[in-house]
A and B are shown apart, each in its own frame.
Chain A
Amino acid sequence: MLTPQKTLDTYYLEARRDLLEVAAMLDRYDRSVEKEGKPAADESKLNSLLEALALLSKKDHPESNRAEQLLVHFAKVS
């Protein structure tokens, strides 16, 4: 296993990229809503993503199981 510092140094840029993709996807949705003049009929996927982000932003995850929690969370969306 990598050291804590090496873990951050190794994966930071990839995580940054992935978060930027999520941010861009949410911006894309907003612009689409603005253009269409109305939101998607079913926004459950959007809400699921926003809830997932909130889950990730919680500081303490004593079991280090964020990925597992997200998979359980996403399973609620069909």
Chain B
Amino acid sequence: MEYTSFNNQLSFIQKIRNFDYILMTCILLLGLISSLAMYSTDGGELLFHTKSHIVKFSIFFPMMIILSFFSIKFWHFFSYIFYAIILIFLIWAAMYGVKASGSQRWINLYFLNLQPSELMKIAIIGCLAKYYHRIQIDKVNSIQGIIIPCVVLILPVMIVASQPDLGTAILIALSGLVVVWLAGLNIKFFAYSFVTLLISLPFAVAFLKPYQKLRVLTFINPDRDPLGAGYQIIQSKIAVGSGGLTGKGFLKGTQSYLEFLPEKHTDFIFTLFAEEYGFVGALVLLLIYITIIYRVLHIGYISKSYFAKLFCYGYGSAIFFYVVVNMSMVLGLLPIVGSPLPIMSYGGSSMLATMIGFGIVMSAKIYHKQLIA
């Protein structure tokens, strides 16, 4: 019997039954596929990356299940606090963080080098979802309704961009913007800001780090310096292209195991996958992501509460951005910006953030009839 309520107490069995098993299967599949890919990047041996990846997945996947048992009301309540904590972490990282390869974006938590910017990708969605949940639709386009989300958005983006980590900053911005859009911000504001962006672009370019400028130039023409800046894009395209229809086979990706591929554990994991499993494999992987996105959006669609709906729509779109930005980048459609492929790429923070996101979505599924005041 259908009912909705503000105080929905579900039994454990009901919760289990309400689980989204399709989403869960897809995540598990990704976990499995990513472990195989990681094994391949290690040259067919059970080395550090593979082990670490499997360990992380086996910690974070159960964690997601546990998180999903928290009521959606809790997540609604927790959203601002979560955002605040992550923001503090970001500032902390900027001041006392661990430096690596020219950027300061990690906090040493002893068991894990946490990258708060990754968590911000989720936190920003939660924070904005809660904000829009709490205001009336006619307030969305008021001055206050514009300024507050702007501040919430710009603050972390600026910090992350200055780490410098352009890729993550862009992804945080995109995640936030899609929420703002979904909440109903007038399209003219997007148009205005887009025009402003275009105008300020030349000035922004002046502020880009030399290596970032190089990446943009290289993206425009990868052959201008095939052994230097263009190397990554060229090698990645060669790897993907040489995979052909069915790929070179498991552990047979010559581009990766002969080390022509850069960053094969992280940003270029899709390249390795496409090389070894070909067009068919790449399509299957893409299909899994599409299914995940579809399921997340579907959960949003069936959610009764505005917060849950907005969060799911926002998060579904965010995953879409992660996937599209990463794939476009390795396929030579976008300049190289650091952006991991969710679950597939090696990296604890990214996986942690993604799993927290899925946990909240799963919670929304379990409590999809729950209303929030």
Are the chains A and B members of one assembly? no
Interface residues in chain B, defined as those with a beta carbon under 8 Å from any beta carbon in chain A: none
